[in-house]
Structure 1
Amino acid sequence: QLFTDGITNKLVACYTDERMADAVLVRVYGRKTELFVDRETELRNFQVLRAHGCAPDLYCAFQNGLCYQFLPGIALGPDHVRDPHIFRLVAQEMARVHAIHTNGSLPRPILWQKLHKYLTLVKTDLSPKVSNPSLQQDVPSLETLEHELAWMKETLSQLGSPVVLCHNDLLCKNIIYDRTQEHVRFIDYEYTGYNYQAFDIGNHFNEPSKDTCGDQPQLAAAACPVVTAAGRLGPGQERHEGFVLRAGMLRAHFSSVFYLLQASHFLWACWGLIQDKYSTIDFNFL
């Protein structure tokens, strides 16, 4: 069975049982994805997540892909992530991933390295000699983008968001909900790495925003009940759900999520420009 939801790689399920009980997945990397995905790091992160029960079994890796266990369940849609029961499961699984520490040293966020790499890759595409007229009209100049990136790094680095192991690509289709086990699992670890915790959360709200909020994607985070809880708690108020939650702490966290969401927009905009040039997948990246 060929899965058609992916916009980076080709994914095929191989099985003999119609119920897919014996299914394995074969993922073939998309064209030129090695330009912006470190495959050795992806494989290492896959193994780390598996060791902590957060990823399926990995059967083998080959030159241009992977073969791994099929996780039963449904890939989430925009409506699922608004369901109070499911978004709490997503938050719990995200917390499990964020709690993994493996490198034995103080981790550094990969965000700035990624952004600089992506912007370097799009420089040629935005050059007046090769860029198509629509790109020159709709995309800011290189000087503007470089200025924006410098401003983001200087400003967002000071927010104090913890650096933790992040998935960094939690769009709906990368979250599998298993009704029988009542849990969710994350898939596809191409962008996994240590990053700002608030980026991972903000990026999760940002990724499905086009589907959930139409022409106003900036409302995606504000529409989520988990985040808007910050606005409902009074000064010094606490709630007990296994831990103490203070309004000031939640508001500060919400602020970091909101600001780092801007970096998510910037990153995926650059990614879209790169994919539009190289990908053979039928998708409007721009």
Structure 2
Amino acid sequence: MAAEGTAVAGGGAVGDRLAKDSLRQFQCPDAAPNRRRGSSLSRDAERRAYQCCREYLGGAWRQARPEDLRVDPVSGGLSNLLFRCSLPDHLPSVGKEPREVLLRLYGAILQGVDSLVLESVMFAILAERSLGPQLYGVFPEGRLEQYIPSRPLKTCELREPVLSAEIATKMARFHGMEMPFTKEPHWLFGTMERKLLDSTPSPVVFCHNDVQEGNILLLSEPENTDRLMLVDFEYSSYNYRGFDIGNHFCEWVYDYTHEEWPFYKAQPADYPTRGQQLHFIRHYLAEGKKGDTVSQEEQRKLEEDLLVEANRYALASHFFWGLWSILQASMSTIEFGYLEYAQSRFQFYFQQKGQLSGFHPSS
């Protein structure tokens, strides 16, 4: 689920009044943001965007006039507003300042100050490791990021074997990182049945927690053999490995580009088959155990165990995003069928729950 920058993810409280007031100054007062048609900025908001770019980027951005700056809406997630800010062609660069950036404005459900600080640190570390875009500026109501020529994957592309294998490899690399954050998996405890977590062993690793097609960019100009880049790390934290994989499998079902109400389309039959899951899992395990050799019997056991783990934690994905969507329905101004989506996730939860043998959580 495309869900950037919410209090649920980071564990912080709903944003304070200063952050909300700053956001109101950015948003167009007569148009509710819509992720399908893009978001619009008022003239005052365009001036504010200019001020942010001028202050944080320097160089040619300080020489540009407000009317020179080009600000284009970018179709974003379900809780953030995204805008591409560009310098005019006639204005030469002064130094190494970027020519264009992505301006991200946090949505109606905001994180607390502590969560925003942690997210900024995380974003910077991932950028240094070439696992995410560069970070150019951070302020209470949003941030400035590297604009990367690319497009997000389509839901149907998640099932393409070559792309699925690369996503699995990216996820394995992500899980292999050591990050300076709490290693306790607190992320699910407040929302998921504890019996699931107790009955299904899963290693605690650094997880993205939202590997869906909108958060996977297909690069227009890849610098190496990697064609994909994971983005939107608002939910990233130490969590159970099974959640990240199971959540990704759930996202095969949902297309968030549907043009009519409720602005998503669910195809439960598109949940990956056993063969498709094994394809993903084998590439995931191959990346994680480079240099290690295991017997065929051990390999089969690793694969079967991870299949069970991922599908049980897929239940946690449905439960979590169902609750998240109910919360968004009461606060978000983005046009989306949040309550319908919550109902879909809970229906899928009970459907999958009944299909999993050997797992009987408390009701």
Residue in 2 that maps onto 1:69: 146
Cα offset, 1:5, TM superposition:
3.5
- Secondary structure of the residue aligned to 2:325 is helix
Q: Which amino acid aligns with 2:240?
A: Y
Structure 2 residue ranges without an equivalent (≥5): 1-71, 90-97, 257-264, 283-288, 340-363
Local SS of the residue matching 2:155: coil
For 2:87, the aligned partner's letter is: T
2:188 aligned counterpart, secondary structure: helix
CA distance in structure 2 between the aligned counterparts of 1:179 and 1:12, rounded to whole angstroms: 19
Asked if 2 retains the 8 angstrom alpha-carbon contact of 1:110 and 1:193, the reply is no
Find 1:249's aligned residue among 302, 317, 320: 302
Question: What number of residue pairs does the alignment pair up?
Answer: 239
Does the alignment pair 1:111 with 2:191? Answer: no
Residue 106 (structure 2) pairs with residue 22 (structure 1): no
Provide the residue aligned with 1:206 in structure 2.
250
Task: Map Cα deviations across residues 77-117 of structure 1 (whole Å, 9 max, x no partner).
Answer: 11211111111111111111111013388x2213334xx2x
Gaps of 5+ in 1: 120-148, 232-239
- What whole-Å deviation, never above 9, does each CA across 1:154-196 have from its counterpart, x for those lacking one? 2323422111111101111110012542421111111010011
Give the AA of the match of 2:82.
L
Residue 343 (structure 2) aligns with = none
Match for residue 84 of structure 2?
Answer: 13
Whole-angstrom distance in 1 between the partners of 2:75 and 2:144: 17
- Alignment of 1:278 with 2:335, yes or no, is no
| TM-score scaled by length of structure 1 | 0.74
Deviation at 1:280, TM superposition (A): 1.0
Question: How many angstroms does 1:241 deviate by?
Answer: 9.0
2:202, 2:128 → 1: CA distance? 26
* Aligned counterparts of 1:192 and 1:218: Cα–Cα separation in 2: 28
State the distance in 2 between where 1:164 and 1:201 align: 12
For 1:176-191, what aligned pairs fall within 5 Å after superposition?
Answer: 176-181=217-222, 182-191=226-235
8 Å contact 2:165–2:279 — kept in the other structure?
no
Give % identity.
29
Amino acid at match of 2:195: E
What RMSD over aligned residues (CA atoms) do the two structures have, in Å? 3.0
- By how many angstroms is 1:229 displaced? 7.6
Displacement, 1:73?
1.6
TM-score, with structure 2 as normaliser: 0.59
- 1:230·1:247 contact (CA, 8 Å) conserved in 2? no
Q: Distance in 2 between matches of 1:103 and 1:38?
A: 14
Q: Post-superposition, which runs of at least 4 consecutive aligned residues in structure 1 deviate over 4 A? A: 228-231, 240-245
